Each structure stands twice: as C-alpha cells, then as structure tokens.
Amino acid sequence: MPSTRKTTSSAKTIRTYSQPTNSQVEDTAPPGTEKEQSVLVDKAPEALPLLNQLIQLLRPNPQEIIESEKRARSLVIAGIAEADGDLEPFERLAHTETATCKVY
C-alpha cells in the first residue's frame, strides 16, 4: 500500500511503496520457493504478495484436487465390477451401461 508524504522543501507529494525486507520474505515463504523468492526480491518485489497468495491457493496438492473432483463425479453401483483403469472413458462408460443392463 503506498504511503504519502509531503516534503518540506516543496508542496510536491511523493508516493513510496513499502517493499518487504529479506527477513519478511523468509518468514512467509513456504518451503521450496527460496529461488523464486530471491529472484522476486531483486527483480519485482511488488510481486511477492501475489506469489504468496498463489502458493496459499495451491497449498493442497493439485493432484489431490483433481482426484477429489473425479470422486465427486463418479458413481458406485453395488454389485457391479469396476472397469479396468487402462480403458478410455467411453469404454468405461460402455462397460458400466452394459453391466447395469444385465442387472434388470
């Protein structure tokens, strides 16, 4: 957030942007991001908060997020065997439809 101050020699307003110090960056940096943090401190310190927010959003493993979405969309029918995992999605669907038709 910019801070505003007026100099005594002129009525000109100067905006200064606070930049995180190395100690602040190290305190909030998640493990494994030291290289990115050091580059941003030198090149674009204003991007550090954005990187930290992104890391917080991606804190859960993205693979876990995908698996949970798959589980939420999956349907389990008792008594019907699951299709092989190496089949294409349309083949798994056909297997499930065929197996369900046999139940009736």
Does the pTM of the predicted model rise above 0.75? no
pLDDT value of position 13: 55
Using alpha carbons, select from 1, 57, 48, 2 the residue that is nearest to residue 27. Answer: 48
The phi, psi pair for 27, rounded to 5°, reads -70, -35
Rounded CA separation 75/19 (Å): 51
| pLDDT digits (tens), the chain, 104 positions | 555 555 555 555 555 555 555 544 445 555 667 887 888 888 888 888 888 888 888 777 778 888 888 888 877 788 888 888 899 989 988 998 998 888 76
Six-digit token string for 102:
């046999």
> Measured over all CA atoms, what is the biggest interatomic distance in the chain, rounded to whole angstroms?
90
Domain ranges of the chain: 12-59
pLDDT value of position 98: 92
DSSP line for 41-69: HHH-GGGHHHHHHHHHHT-S-HHHHHHHH
